[in-house]
Amino acid sequence: MTSLRSSVRLPAASFAAGLLLITGALPVSAHASFPDGGAVATGSTTVVHVRIGHGCDGAAVDTVEIQLPEGIVGARPEYVPGWGLEIEVVPSEPYDVYGETMTERVGVIRWTGGDLPDFAFFDFGFRATFLLDPGSVHVPVIQRCGDAEVAWIEIPAEGEDHDSLEYPAPELTIVAADEPA
């Protein structure tokens, strides 16, 4: 490896330090969110994760529940070692799977029995088919720490900004099929 010229060493180190400063010290967003849900192609089958960024008032999270709105079908939760898994099937609008018409879908996914400390975060994933038109979709998420809970279930009203709510339901953005992700 060629040695770096002395005139480049110091600026390079500063730049690297700066990058690390930015990426390393960024606080993880405290709202439950879909970090990889910003551009889900309509009609696609993909995996998204809901990020639980903290506990309940200092307590560790032992249960995470999400309610999938109409249009998110064929959901399969991602297995999390050490946590239990439960799903609830709900009646739904008819939709087509390999030529067969379905009238039910997985409506609730629940990870249970875990121990996610307040100072940590975790991304709980699921794979599903998003039969939704382009736009925003809000997915209510509840995290529980024993008897305490934090319910990310506020849906913004017409014209209301998602970020202005205190406990907004995490938002998925569905985009047209030919748009780059």
Partner 1 sequence: MPRSGRRSLPAAILLLAAALLALAGPASGHAQVIEVDPPDGTILAIAPSAVTISFNEGVALAPGGITVVDATGLAVDTEPEVVDAARIVQPLPPLRDGWYVVTWAVVSEDGHPIRRASVFGVGDADAALRPAPPASPAAILPAAARALADLGTLVLAGALAATILLRAPVAPVAPLVAAGGLLALAGTALLVLTGLLAAGQVWLATIAGLVAVARIPLLAVALLLRDRPRAASLPVLAALLLIAPGGHAAGDPIAVALLAAHLLLAATWLGAAPALLAVQRHTGTDDPTALAVARAFSRLAGIALVIVALAGAALTWRLTEGFVAGVTPWLAVLLAKIGLVAIAALAGALGRRHLAREPRRSGLRRLFLLDALLLAGVATLSGALALDAPRAGLHDVHGGPDGAARCTLRAGETALSAILRPALPGANEILLGGVPADAAGLTLELRHPAIGEAPVAATPVAGTEGWTAPVALPFAGDWTLTVALRPDRFTLLRGDCTLRVGG
- Footprint of partner 1 (CB under 8 A): 1, 3-6, 9, 12-13, 16-17, 20-21, 24-31, 53-55, 57-58, 65, 67, 108, 118-121, 140, 142, 150-151, 153-155, 157, 166
β 148-152/135-138 pair status:
unpaired
Cβ closest to partner 1, residue 26 vs residue 98: 26
Nearest distance in Å: CB 171, partner 1: 15
Nearest distance in Å: CB 53, partner 1: 5
Nearest distance in Å: CB 120, partner 1: 8
- For 49, half-sphere exposure in the C-beta direction (CA atoms, 13 angstrom radius) is 13
Residue 79: exposure state from Cβ atoms within 10 A (0-12, 13-18, ≥19): exposed
Cβ closest to partner 1, residue 54 vs residue 105: 54
Cβ closest to partner 1, residue 12 vs residue 177: 12
The Cα–Cα gap between 50 and 124 comes to 5
Nearest distance in Å: CB 176, partner 1: 28
Cβ closest to partner 1, residue 13 vs residue 89: 13
Nearest distance in Å: CB 13, partner 1: 6
Element (DSSP H or E) covering residue 121: none
In angstroms, the Cα distances linking 62 to 13, 52, 125, 142, 145 are 42, 11, 16, 11, 5
The Cα–Cα gap between 129 and 71 comes to 8
Cβ closest to partner 1, residue 78 vs residue 118: 118
